Amino acid sequence: MLKMAVLGKPISHSLSPVLHRRAYEILKIDAQFTAHEIDETNYFEFYQTARDTGWRGLALTMPLKEIALGFADRIDPLAKQIRSINTIIFESTGSIGLSTDMLAFKNLLKPYFGKKIAILGAGGTARAAIGALNGTNTQVTVLTRSTIRHDQLHNAAHNLDLDFMSWSGFEEVQDRDLIISTTPAGATDGLNLLTTSADFFEVTYHPWPTELAKRYQNLGRLVIGGLTLLVEQALYQIQYFAAAQLPQNKLTGEQFDQLRIELTEAGRTAIGK
């Protein structure tokens, strides 16, 4: 049996167990996927126990995506670039840390490559989005409340047209092709939106829709919800976790498409949407 878990704090709202369990059921793979409330103070103890007792891997959410970098035996180069991991794989040669967040962003943002994007926030999720856009000839503006993390964002994508703007400049970026909010729920509720030509990508899935997502919907813009991102990154995690049980160690395109539909429906059912 494959044993995996999602770790974070708070964790009670996580949809990862719903998505993963449904996926392994569809794939007919014997697997156990649990959720545990873990923060920086007890992460290493849990990680060490899982590693030493034959677990297959861990999915990580806040506040563990940065601290976990210091414990994996190897870090995928792209994950090292964005200084964030959300997945640990336990192999016989040691543990590997990687970011399926960035893989998911790369897939979902393809229609906007080479266009103009504004990103709200400067944390690990913003770095994952920026890393996914590296080398795509996309113009990216990041709106932040301080300059503290600007260097980290630059380091996440050396080959990207990246500039910064104050949080108060939100109305000035409404001519972009896409706005991506990477902030926690409630952080953007006070932003004013009268008119826009931008599509909107909200990484939060609970509560949904956020107040800002509603405003874009009311203006008739395309809105991509956080459940879409959650499902997409979970598909890559599932492929890594279940590799040994899959033909050629990976999901086929048909399996990706089927699971994307099934997991999205499972997620919507779980959150009542």
CA distances from 173 to 8, 170, 179, 200, 216 (A): 33, 6, 8, 12, 14
Helix (H) or strand (E) holding 16: helix 16-27
Which residues make beta-bridge pairs with 58?
A: 5, 88
Regarding whether 259 and 168 lie in a shared domain, the answer is no
pLDDT at 32 over 90: yes
- The burial of 202, by beta-carbon neighbours within 10 Å (0-12 exposed, 13-18 middle, 19 or more buried), is given as buried
pLDDT tens for residues 213-229? Answer: 999 999 999 999 999 99
Within its chain, how far is the Cα of 203 from the centroid? Answer: 8
Same domain, 28 and 42: yes
Same domain for 116 and 13: no
Per-residue model confidence (pLDDT) at position 254: 94
**Confidence (pLDDT) at 26:** 97
| Domain end marker among 192, 208, 225 | 225
Domain that holds residue 25: 2-100+227-271
Percent helix, strand and coil across the chain, each rounded to 5? Answer: 45, 20, 35
Computed over every residue of the chain, the mean pLDDT equals: 95
Same domain, 79 and 168: no
Query: What pLDDT is recorded for position 117?
Result: 98
Is the model's pLDDT at 19 over the cut of 90?
Answer: yes
Q: Please give the DSSP secondary-structure letter assigned to residue 159.
A: S
pTM of the complete model: 0.94
pLDDT at 145: 87
Note whether 220 and 234 are same-domain residues.
no
H-helix or E-strand containing 36?
Answer: strand 31-37
Check whether residue 87 and residue 113 sit in a common domain: no
Does 115 lie in the same domain as 191?
Answer: yes
130 & 143 share domain:
yes
Query: Cα dist. 88→40, 71, 85, 155 in Å?
Result: 16, 10, 8, 22
CA distance 56 to 249: 14
pLDDT at position 273 is 63
What number of helices (H) and strands (E) belong to the chain? 9, 12
Judgement on whether residues 107 and 214 belong to the same structural domain of the protein = yes
Q: 18: domain CATH number?
A: 3.40.50.10860
Same domain as 71, residue 130: no
Average the pLDDT over each of 88-92, 154-158, 180-184 and give the range with the smallest value.
154-158
Average pLDDT value for residue range 101-109: 97
Residue 185 confidence (pLDDT) above 90: no
CATH of the domain at 124: 3.40.50.720
For residues 127 and 181, state if they share a domain.
Answer: yes
pLDDT of residue 272: 80
Q: Are residues 184 and 130 in the same domain?
A: yes
pLDDT digits (tens, 9 = 90+) for 113-170: 999 999 999 999 999 999 999 999 999 999 998 888 888 898 998 899 999 999 999 9
- Residue-wise burial string across 139-175, b where 16 or more C-beta atoms lie within 10 A, e elsewhere: bbbbbbeeeebeebbeebbeebebebeeeeebeebbe
pLDDT of amino acid 184: 86
Number of domains in the chain: 2
Instruction: Say what percent of the chain tops pLDDT 70.
Output: 100
User: pLDDT class for 271, splitting at 50, 70, 90?
Assistant: confident
Q: How confident is the model over 41-84, as pLDDT tens digits?
A: 999 999 999 999 999 999 999 999 999 999 999 999 999 999 99
Residue 168, phi-psi category: left (phi > 0), alpha (psi -120 to 50), beta (remainder): alpha
Both tokens of 94, joined, read: 């040691």
